[in-house]
C-alpha cells in the first residue's frame, strides 16, 4: 500500500503566487498518486503565518473547492521556522511522510519523485540541495558559501546549499517534536535527528511572483539565530581572544620595563588611544554576544508556545476521485 504524503508549505503574504502554487502542486500530487508513489489520502497543507493579505482566504477557498488542500492558520505571525514546524506537527498525525517546501515555486517540485523513491529505499530524511547557484548574484553566492563555512567552523552540522526543501518520515518528524527549544533553526536541528539520510539535487528557479520574504537583513538574522542557537563556540572564541589580549599586554609590559631600564621612553598617545579603543570595542562585542546567549536562555526558561493554531482545515474521510478532479 502506498504511503500518505503531506506537502507542507509555509505561507506569508503569498496571495500573488498561491493560486499558481496550488495548481502546480495539485497536478504533481495527482500524478504521483496515479503512478502509485503516494496514496490518494495525500494532501497539500498550506500554513498561513499570520498574513495580513488574502492568503488565508485563498487557502480556505482552495480547501472548500477540493479536499486535496488542507490549511493551518496561525493566530499571528511567528516566522517561517515556527510556521513550518507547526505544519509538520499537524501533518505527522495524518501522514506517513512529509515534504516541506516554500510557496514561491523556486524549489523544483519534480524532485519530490526522487525523494519518495529514496524514502522507499529506506531513507528517513532526504535533503533537497541546489545543484548550482547560477541565478544568484555574485554577492549572494559568495556570502552563502561563507555562511556554510562559518557554520561548520563553529561546529554546526549543516547541509550545503540546502534550505527547507526536505522529506521527513513520520518517525523523523516525531523525533523532531522532541526538540523543545524556542529558538528554531531547522537546518541545523534536523541533521541532529540522525537516521538514514540522502540528498536529491535540483536546480532552483526564479521566484514566480511577489517579493522575497528573506532580504539580506532577514538572512543575516537567520544566520545569527542559527549560530547562537546551536553552538557556544563564539563564547569560547571570546575567551581565547581575552587570553591572547592578556598575554600581549604582559609581553608589552615586560618590553616597556626593559626599554625604561635602558633609558628609553615610551612614545606617545597614539598607541595608547588605539589600545583603549581596541580593548573597549572587544569588551563591548563580548558583552553583546554573551547578552545574546543570556537572552536566549531567558526566552527558553519562559517556555512560551512557539506558535498557536487558530484554525485547521483537513478533510481526511473522503477519498479523492482521480478521474473527476476539479480544475483550478
- Flag whether pLDDT at 258 surpasses 70: yes
pLDDT confidence band for 237 (50 / 70 / 90): confident
Overall average pLDDT of the 300-323 stretch:
74
Using alpha carbons, select from 158, 135, 128, 134 the residue that is nearest to residue 146.
158
3-state helix, strand, coil in the chain (%, to 5): 50, 15, 35
- Flag whether pLDDT at 175 surpasses 90: yes
State the CATH architecture for 5-211+305-313: Alpha-Beta Complex (3.90)
DSSP assignment letter at 47:
E
pLDDT for 225 equals: 66
pLDDT for 269 equals: 47
Q: What percent of the chain has pLDDT over 70?
A: 69
Q: Which helix (H) or strand (E) holds 198?
A: strand 197-202
Residue with more model confidence, 251 or 194: 194
pLDDT for 36 equals: 86
Q: At what angle do helices 18-35 and 111-120 cross, to 10 degrees?
A: 40
| Domain map (residue ranges) of the chain | 5-211+305-313, 233-302
pLDDT confidence band for 189 (50 / 70 / 90): confident
3-class DSSP assignment, residue 308: coil
User: CA-based Rg of the chain, rounded to a whole angstrom?
Assistant: 25
Instruction: Give φ, ψ of 146 to 5 degrees.
Output: -65, -40
**Angle (CA) 189 191 197, round 5°:** 150
Sheet arrangement for strand 5-11 = 197-202, 125-130, 162-169, 97-100, 5-11, 43-48, 69-74, 309-313
Task: Provide the CA 129 distance to its chain's centre, in angstroms.
Answer: 13
Retrieve residue 120's grid coordinates: 522507499
Structure confidence by residue, pLDDT tens digits, 117-153: 999 999 999 999 887 766 566 666 666 666 667 777 7
Distance CA(237)–CA(227), nearest Å, equals 13
pLDDT confidence band for 326 (50 / 70 / 90): low
The residues with which 11 forms a beta bridge, in sequence order, are 48
In contact, 32 and 123? CB cutoff 8 Å: no
Q: What is the mean pLDDT of the chain?
A: 79
Overall average pLDDT of the 233-241 stretch:
71
Residue with more model confidence, 322 or 308: 308
pLDDT for 270 equals: 47
First-to-last CA distance in the chain? 29
89-98, 116-125, 238-247: the lowest-pLDDT one: 238-247
In contact, 49 and 10? CB cutoff 8 Å: yes
Distance CA(109)–CA(103), nearest Å, equals 11
54-63, 213-222, 241-250, 299-308: the lowest-pLDDT one: 213-222
92-106, 150-164, 252-266: the lowest-pLDDT one: 252-266
Structure confidence by residue, pLDDT tens digits, 265-306: 556 544 665 576 567 667 767 777 777 777 777 666 766 788
Question: Which range has highest mean pLDDT (22-26, 142-146, 227-231, 285-289)?
Answer: 22-26
Amino acid at each position: 500500500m502506498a504511503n500518505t504524503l503531506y506537502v507542507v508549505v509555509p505561507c506569508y503574504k503569498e496571495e500573488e503566487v498561491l493560486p499558481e502554487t496550488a495548481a502546480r502542486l495539485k497536478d504533481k500530487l495527482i500524478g504521483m498518486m496515479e503512478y502509485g508513489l503516494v496514496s490518494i489520502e495525500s494532501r497539500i497543507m498550506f500554513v498561513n503565518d499570520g498574513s495580513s493579505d488574502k492568503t488565508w482566504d485563498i487557502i480556505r477557498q482552495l480547501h472548500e473547492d477540493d479536499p486535496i488542500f488542507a490549511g493551518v492558520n496561525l493566530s499571528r505571525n511567528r516566522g517561517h521556522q515556527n510556521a513550518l514546524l507547526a505544519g509538520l506537527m499537524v501533518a505527522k498525525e495524518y501522514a506517513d511522510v512529509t515534504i516541506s517546501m516554500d510557496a514561491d515555486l523556486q524549489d523544483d517540485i519534480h524532485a519530490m519523485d526522487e525523494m519518495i523513491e529514496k524514502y522507499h529505499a529506506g531513507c528517513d530524511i532526504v535533503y533537497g540541495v541546489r545543484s548550482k547557484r547560477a541565478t544568484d548574484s555574485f554577492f549572494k553566492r559568495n556570502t552563502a558559501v561563507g555562511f556554510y563555512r562559518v557554520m561548520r567552523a563553529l561546529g554546526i552540522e549543516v547541509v550545503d546549499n540546502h534550505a527547507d526543501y526536505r522529506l521527513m518520515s513520520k518517525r523523523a518528524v516525531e523525533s523532531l517534536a522532541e526538540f523543545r527549544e524556542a529558538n528554531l533553526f531547522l537546518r541545523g536541528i534536523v541533521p541532529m535527528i540522525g537516521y538514514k539520510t540522502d540528498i536529491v539535487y535540483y536546480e532552483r528557479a526564479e521566484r514566480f511572483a511577489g517579493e522575497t520574504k528573506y532580504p539580506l537583513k532577514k538572512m543575516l538574522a537567520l544566520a545569527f539565530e542559527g549560530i547562537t542557537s546551536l553552538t557556544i563556540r563564539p563564547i569560547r572564541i571570546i575567551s581565547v581572544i581575552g587570553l591572547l589580549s592578556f598575554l600581549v599586554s604582559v609581553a608589552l609590559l615586560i618590553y616597556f620595563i626593559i626599554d625604561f631600564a635602558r633609558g628609553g621612553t615610551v612614545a606617545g598617545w597614539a598607541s595608547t588611544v588605539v589600545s583603549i579603543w581596541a580593548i573597549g570595542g572587544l569588551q563591548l562585542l563580548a558583552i553583546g554576544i554573551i547578552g545574546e546567549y543570556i537572552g536566549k536562555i531567558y526566552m527558553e526558561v519562559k517556555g512560551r508556545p512557539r506558535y498557536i493554531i487558530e484554525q485547521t482545515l483537513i478533510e481526511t474521510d473522503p477519498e479523492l476521485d482521480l478521474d473527476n478532479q476539479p480544475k483550478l
